[in-house]
Structure 1
Amino acid sequence: MQNVFEKTLVEDKELPWEIVGDKVKRKIMSYSKDLMLVKVAFEKGGIGAVHKHPHLQISYIANGVFEITIDGETKLLKEGDVYFVPSDILHGAVCIEDGVLVDVFNPMREDFIHT
């Protein structure tokens, strides 16, 4: 994967998609040690498995429809909606209609970087 560390001007077309699951792929758009922005594309039926991490996360639904679960509460969210995940809280997503999430993490997700 191309290193996008602290890249200030990013063109989507220059970055490759990384397959991260069945019907799920992502692009790490840019990051520093304190902040990371990731675009995640889902096909209908794609699942972001329930998990937790120490990072703060806020996600914007760029398009599509998702069933989002955070700390046992589930809600259907669509284009223009946002959800926030505090540190170490279980959360996950199920794609109801093809869509894209824009995830922001603080600090950056070191586990996403392949060297």
Structure 2
Amino acid sequence: MSDFPVVVTGEGVSRQVLSDHPDLMVVAFRFGATGAIGALHDHPHVQSTYVESGRFRFTLGNDEREVGPGDSFVVSSGVTHGCTCLEPGTLVDCFTPRRDDFL
């Protein structure tokens, strides 16, 4: 169990830091409802996303893809990305370096 708090980031969406180090951070994003949105954004961190459960439609730059349990992908630094929840579930994201704004 993580010692970090659960933070509500939007309607039906929360995040919780699972572990962190200056070079790497692991974060769970939980989507509790179909239609919940992970807003489009970008950041200087390289991000990997693993779909623990649920289904999501991701926008990655100019591309869209649908992902489900067991899928994973990498988002390069500076690429605009976001998602729409198609079935409630959890995404596990890793960031390098860590997202100090999440602490």
Matched with 1:56 is: 46
Matched with 2:28 is: 39
* Number of equivalences: 102
TM-score, structure 2 length as denominator? 0.94
Matched with 2:7 is: 18
* Matched AA of 2:65: K
Report SS of the residue matched to 1:111. Answer: helix
Report SS of the residue matched to 2:101. Answer: helix
Q: Specify which structure has the bigger relative contact order, considering alpha-carbon pairs within 8 angstroms and separated by 6 or more residues.
A: 2
| CA deviation vs aligned residue, 1:18-67 (integer Å, no higher than 9, x gap) | 11111100110110111000000002111111110000000000000000
Q: Which runs of 5+ in 2 are unaligned?
A: none
Report SS of the residue matched to 1:53. Answer: coil
Q: Tell me which structure has the larger Cα radius of gyration.
A: 1
TM-align CA RMSD: 1.1
| Higher strand fraction (1 or 2) | 2
Residue 15 of structure 1: how far off its partner (Å): 4.7
TM-score, structure 1 length as denominator? 0.84
* Matched AA of 1:64: G
Matched with 1:69 is: 59
Whole-angstrom CA distance in 2 between matches of 1:28 and 1:85: 18
Runs (4+) off by over 4 Å? none
Whole-angstrom CA distance in 1 between matches of 2:47 and 2:4: 22
